[in-house]
Protein backbone atom coordinates (compact mmCIF):
# COMPACT_ATOMS: atom_id res chain seq x y z
CA UNK A 1 0.00 0.00 0.00
CA UNK A 2 1.29 3.41 -0.97
CA UNK A 3 1.89 5.76 1.98
CA UNK A 4 -0.24 8.93 2.06
CA UNK A 5 1.39 12.07 0.68
CA UNK A 6 0.68 13.69 4.04
CA UNK A 7 -0.89 12.06 7.10
CA UNK A 8 -4.64 12.54 7.31
CA UNK A 9 -6.96 12.04 10.23
CA UNK A 10 -9.03 8.94 9.49
CA UNK A 11 -11.96 7.85 11.67
CA UNK A 12 -13.29 4.29 11.25
CA UNK A 13 -16.44 3.28 13.10
CA UNK A 14 -16.68 -0.30 14.31
CA UNK A 15 -12.97 -0.89 13.88
CA UNK A 16 -12.18 -3.24 16.76
CA UNK A 17 -12.59 -6.37 14.63
CA UNK A 18 -13.44 -7.74 11.21
CA UNK A 19 -13.66 -5.48 8.18
CA UNK A 20 -13.35 -2.29 10.21
CA UNK A 21 -10.19 -3.54 11.89
CA UNK A 22 -8.65 -4.36 8.49
CA UNK A 23 -9.61 -0.92 7.16
CA UNK A 24 -8.01 0.82 10.13
CA UNK A 25 -4.88 -1.30 9.70
CA UNK A 26 -4.63 -0.30 6.03
CA UNK A 27 -4.75 3.40 6.87
CA UNK A 28 -2.20 2.99 9.67
CA UNK A 29 0.11 1.21 7.22
CA UNK A 30 -0.36 4.11 4.80
CA UNK A 31 0.92 6.52 7.45
CA UNK A 32 -2.34 8.20 8.39
CA UNK A 33 -3.47 9.27 11.86
CA UNK A 34 -6.20 6.76 12.60
CA UNK A 35 -8.83 6.94 15.32
CA UNK A 36 -10.37 3.54 15.95
CA UNK A 37 -13.83 3.20 17.45
CA UNK A 38 -15.52 0.51 19.51
CA UNK A 39 -18.57 0.07 21.65
CA UNK A 40 -16.47 0.01 24.82
CA UNK A 41 -13.38 1.89 25.92
CA UNK A 42 -11.62 -1.45 26.52
CA UNK A 43 -12.20 -2.75 22.99
CA UNK A 44 -11.20 0.59 21.45
CA UNK A 45 -7.97 0.75 23.43
CA UNK A 46 -7.15 -2.87 22.61
CA UNK A 47 -7.58 -2.19 18.89
CA UNK A 48 -5.57 1.02 19.14
CA UNK A 49 -2.69 -0.86 20.74
CA UNK A 50 -2.88 -3.77 18.28
CA UNK A 51 -2.81 -1.47 15.27
CA UNK A 52 -0.54 1.28 16.54
CA UNK A 53 -3.35 3.72 15.79
CA UNK A 54 -3.32 7.34 16.92
CA UNK A 55 -6.29 7.07 19.30
CA UNK A 56 -9.29 5.00 20.30
CA UNK A 57 -12.76 6.23 21.26
CA UNK A 58 -15.89 4.48 22.45
CA UNK A 59 -19.57 5.04 21.73
CA UNK A 60 -22.75 3.14 21.04
CA UNK A 61 -23.43 4.26 17.46
CA UNK A 62 -27.18 4.01 18.00
CA UNK A 63 -26.82 6.83 20.56
CA UNK A 64 -26.44 9.87 18.30
CA UNK A 65 -25.21 12.15 21.09
CA UNK A 66 -22.55 9.64 22.15
CA UNK A 67 -21.35 9.15 18.58
CA UNK A 68 -21.18 12.92 18.01
CA UNK A 69 -19.20 13.29 21.25
CA UNK A 70 -16.75 10.57 20.17
CA UNK A 71 -16.20 12.26 16.81
CA UNK A 72 -15.68 15.63 18.53
CA UNK A 73 -13.17 14.10 20.96
CA UNK A 74 -11.26 12.53 18.07
CA UNK A 75 -11.13 15.88 16.24
CA UNK A 76 -9.87 17.64 19.34
CA UNK A 77 -7.02 15.16 19.76
CA UNK A 78 -5.98 14.58 16.14
CA UNK A 79 -7.41 17.47 14.14
CA UNK A 80 -10.40 17.63 11.80
CA UNK A 81 -11.52 14.29 10.40
CA UNK A 82 -10.50 14.19 6.74
CA UNK A 83 -11.55 10.62 5.98
CA UNK A 84 -14.65 9.05 7.53
CA UNK A 85 -15.35 5.35 7.14
CA UNK A 86 -18.78 4.29 8.36
CA UNK A 87 -18.29 0.59 9.00
CA UNK A 88 -20.27 -0.19 12.18
CA UNK A 89 -23.32 -2.37 11.67
CA UNK A 90 -24.81 -5.81 12.14
CA UNK A 91 -27.48 -8.12 10.78
CA UNK A 92 -30.50 -9.87 12.26
CA UNK A 93 -32.28 -12.71 10.51
CA UNK A 94 -35.97 -13.58 10.39
CA UNK A 95 -38.46 -15.05 7.93
CA UNK A 96 -41.36 -12.82 6.95
CA UNK A 97 -43.60 -14.50 9.53
CA UNK A 98 -41.32 -13.16 12.28
CA UNK A 99 -40.15 -9.97 10.60
CA UNK A 100 -41.76 -7.10 12.46
CA UNK A 101 -41.49 -3.33 12.66
CA UNK A 102 -39.31 -3.55 15.77
CA UNK A 103 -36.62 -5.48 13.91
CA UNK A 104 -36.82 -3.07 11.00
CA UNK A 105 -36.34 -0.15 13.39
CA UNK A 106 -33.36 -1.86 15.06
CA UNK A 107 -31.68 -2.47 11.73
CA UNK A 108 -32.24 1.11 10.60
CA UNK A 109 -31.05 2.47 13.96
CA UNK A 110 -27.84 0.43 13.77
CA UNK A 111 -27.01 0.43 10.07
CA UNK A 112 -28.39 3.69 8.68
CA UNK A 113 -28.91 6.37 11.32
CA UNK A 114 -25.26 6.36 12.56
CA UNK A 115 -24.08 6.90 8.97
CA UNK A 116 -26.11 10.09 8.78
CA UNK A 117 -25.09 11.20 12.28
CA UNK A 118 -21.38 10.77 11.56
CA UNK A 119 -21.52 12.43 8.15
CA UNK A 120 -23.37 15.45 9.51
CA UNK A 121 -20.72 15.77 12.23
CA UNK A 122 -17.69 15.76 9.93
CA UNK A 123 -18.93 17.60 6.86
CA UNK A 124 -18.59 21.18 8.18
CA UNK A 125 -14.83 20.77 8.68
CA UNK A 126 -14.49 19.02 5.32
CA UNK A 127 -16.33 21.87 3.62
CA UNK A 128 -14.06 24.39 5.33
CA UNK A 129 -11.02 22.48 4.03
CA UNK A 130 -12.49 22.10 0.55
CA UNK A 131 -11.91 18.35 0.54
CA UNK A 132 -12.99 15.16 2.26
CA UNK A 133 -13.55 11.47 1.76
CA UNK A 134 -16.51 9.50 3.09
CA UNK A 135 -16.79 5.76 2.54
CA UNK A 136 -19.78 3.78 3.79
CA UNK A 137 -19.44 0.03 4.23
CA UNK A 138 -22.69 -1.38 2.90
CA UNK A 139 -23.13 -4.93 1.60
CA UNK A 140 -24.15 -6.87 -1.46
CA UNK A 141 -27.44 -6.99 0.45
CA UNK A 142 -27.75 -3.32 -0.52
CA UNK A 143 -27.54 -4.24 -4.21
CA UNK A 144 -29.72 -7.36 -4.32
CA UNK A 145 -32.11 -9.30 -2.14
CA UNK A 146 -31.29 -12.08 0.31
CA UNK A 147 -33.95 -14.27 1.88
CA UNK A 148 -34.54 -14.09 5.64
CA UNK A 149 -32.68 -10.79 6.16
CA UNK A 150 -35.36 -8.41 4.94
CA UNK A 151 -34.75 -5.67 7.51
CA UNK A 152 -30.98 -5.78 7.11
CA UNK A 153 -31.30 -5.77 3.32
CA UNK A 154 -33.64 -2.77 3.47
CA UNK A 155 -31.19 -0.95 5.75
CA UNK A 156 -28.23 -1.54 3.44
CA UNK A 157 -30.29 -0.38 0.45
CA UNK A 158 -30.96 2.77 2.47
CA UNK A 159 -27.23 3.27 3.08
CA UNK A 160 -26.57 3.11 -0.65
CA UNK A 161 -29.43 5.50 -1.38
CA UNK A 162 -28.06 7.96 1.17
CA UNK A 163 -24.58 7.58 -0.32
CA UNK A 164 -25.79 8.45 -3.81
CA UNK A 165 -27.87 11.40 -2.64
CA UNK A 166 -25.15 12.96 -0.48
CA UNK A 167 -22.55 12.43 -3.20
CA UNK A 168 -24.55 14.76 -5.43
CA UNK A 169 -25.10 17.27 -2.66
CA UNK A 170 -21.45 17.43 -1.59
CA UNK A 171 -19.69 17.14 -4.95
CA UNK A 172 -19.14 20.88 -5.38
CA UNK A 173 -17.58 21.02 -1.90
CA UNK A 174 -14.77 18.66 -2.93
CA UNK A 175 -16.14 15.83 -0.79
CA UNK A 176 -16.63 12.37 -2.28
CA UNK A 177 -19.12 9.89 -0.86
CA UNK A 178 -18.95 6.25 -1.89
CA UNK A 179 -19.97 2.83 -0.63
CA UNK A 180 -18.25 -0.52 -0.73
CA UNK A 181 -20.44 -3.61 -0.80
CA UNK A 182 -18.68 -6.76 0.42
CA UNK A 183 -20.14 -10.16 -0.19
CA UNK A 184 -19.81 -12.87 2.48
CA UNK A 185 -16.51 -12.02 4.18
CA UNK A 186 -14.19 -14.08 6.35
CA UNK A 187 -14.91 -12.43 9.69
CA UNK A 188 -15.93 -13.42 13.20
CA UNK A 189 -19.52 -12.55 12.22
CA UNK A 190 -19.57 -15.26 9.54
CA UNK A 191 -17.76 -17.68 11.85
CA UNK A 192 -20.47 -17.11 14.45
CA UNK A 193 -23.18 -17.74 11.88
CA UNK A 194 -21.49 -21.00 10.90
CA UNK A 195 -21.30 -22.02 14.56
CA UNK A 196 -25.00 -21.35 15.13
CA UNK A 197 -26.10 -23.14 11.96
CA UNK A 198 -23.89 -26.12 12.73
CA UNK A 199 -25.37 -26.39 16.21
CA UNK A 200 -28.94 -25.82 15.07
CA UNK A 201 -28.97 -28.09 12.01
CA UNK A 202 -26.31 -30.67 12.80
CA UNK A 203 -24.93 -30.24 9.29
CA UNK A 204 -21.24 -30.45 8.47
CA UNK A 205 -19.55 -27.05 8.83
CA UNK A 206 -17.84 -27.31 5.44
CA UNK A 207 -21.20 -28.00 3.79
CA UNK A 208 -22.70 -24.92 5.44
CA UNK A 209 -19.74 -22.83 4.31
CA UNK A 210 -20.33 -23.98 0.73
CA UNK A 211 -23.84 -22.54 0.98
CA UNK A 212 -22.29 -19.18 1.84
CA UNK A 213 -19.67 -19.29 -0.92
CA UNK A 214 -21.67 -20.81 -3.78
CA UNK A 215 -23.00 -17.36 -4.76
CA UNK A 216 -19.39 -16.19 -5.23
CA UNK A 217 -17.96 -17.37 -8.58
CA UNK A 218 -14.52 -17.43 -6.92
CA UNK A 219 -15.89 -20.07 -4.56
CA UNK A 220 -14.55 -18.52 -1.38
CA UNK A 221 -15.19 -15.88 1.25
CA UNK A 222 -13.94 -12.36 0.60
CA UNK A 223 -10.94 -11.37 2.72
CA UNK A 224 -11.29 -8.28 4.95
CA UNK A 225 -8.04 -6.94 3.48
CA UNK A 226 -9.62 -6.91 0.02
CA UNK A 227 -12.37 -4.64 1.29
CA UNK A 228 -9.82 -2.46 3.08
CA UNK A 229 -7.76 -1.99 -0.07
CA UNK A 230 -10.83 -0.73 -1.93
CA UNK A 231 -11.61 1.73 0.85
CA UNK A 232 -8.01 2.96 0.86
CA UNK A 233 -8.21 3.59 -2.89
CA UNK A 234 -11.51 5.48 -2.61
CA UNK A 235 -9.94 7.70 0.04
CA UNK A 236 -6.89 8.44 -2.11
CA UNK A 237 -6.06 11.30 -4.44
CA UNK A 238 -6.42 9.17 -7.56
CA UNK A 239 -10.10 8.52 -6.74
CA UNK A 240 -11.02 12.20 -6.50
CA UNK A 241 -13.27 11.80 -9.56
CA UNK A 242 -15.15 8.83 -8.12
CA UNK A 243 -18.26 9.63 -6.10
CA UNK A 244 -21.75 8.25 -5.62
CA UNK A 245 -20.60 4.71 -6.36
CA UNK A 246 -21.54 1.41 -4.68
CA UNK A 247 -18.65 -0.93 -5.45
CA UNK A 248 -19.24 -4.65 -5.02
CA UNK A 249 -16.34 -6.64 -3.60
CA UNK A 250 -17.93 -10.01 -4.03
CA UNK A 251 -15.94 -12.15 -6.44
CA UNK A 252 -18.33 -11.61 -9.34
CA UNK A 253 -21.52 -12.38 -7.39
CA UNK A 254 -23.24 -9.41 -9.02
Domain ranges of the chain: 9-183+224-241, 184-221
pLDDT digit string, tens, across residues 18-62: 999 999 999 999 999 999 999 999 999 999 999 999 999 999 999
- Residue 4 confidence (pLDDT) above 80: no
Active-site residue flag, 184:
no
Contact 94, 153 (CB under 8 A): no
CB atoms within 10 A of CB 242: 14
Based on its alpha-carbon atoms, the radius of gyration of the chain, rounded to whole angstroms, reads 18
Of 11, 37, 219, the closest CA to residue 135 belongs to: 11
Of the chain, the percentage scoring pLDDT greater than 90 comes to 87
pLDDT digit string, tens, across residues 125-170: 999 999 999 999 999 999 999 999 999 999 999 999 999 999 999 9
Architecture of domain 9-183+224-241 in CATH? 3-Layer(aba) Sandwich (3.40)
Separation between Cα atoms, residue 150 and residue 159, nearest integer Å: 14
Model confidence band, residue 196 (pLDDT cutoffs 50, 70, 90): confident
- pLDDT value, residue 197: 83
Angle of the 18-29 helix axis to the 224-234 helix axis, nearest 10? 50
CB atoms within 10 A of CB 83: 25
Residues in the chain, total: 254
- pLDDT value, residue 3: 54
- Catalytic residue (one of 146, 148, 152, 184): 152
Model confidence band, residue 242 (pLDDT cutoffs 50, 70, 90): very high
pLDDT digit string, tens, across residues 70-113: 999 999 999 999 999 999 999 999 999 999 999 999 999 999 99
pLDDT digit string, tens, across residues 102-133: 999 999 999 999 999 999 999 999 999 999 99
Amino acid sequence: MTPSASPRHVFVTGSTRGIGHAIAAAFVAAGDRVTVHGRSAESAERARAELGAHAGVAADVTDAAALEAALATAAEHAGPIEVLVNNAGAAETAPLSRLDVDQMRRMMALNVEPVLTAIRAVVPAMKAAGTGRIVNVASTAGLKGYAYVGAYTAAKHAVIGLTRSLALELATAGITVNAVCPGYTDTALIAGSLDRLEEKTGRDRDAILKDFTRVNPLGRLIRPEEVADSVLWLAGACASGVTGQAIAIAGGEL
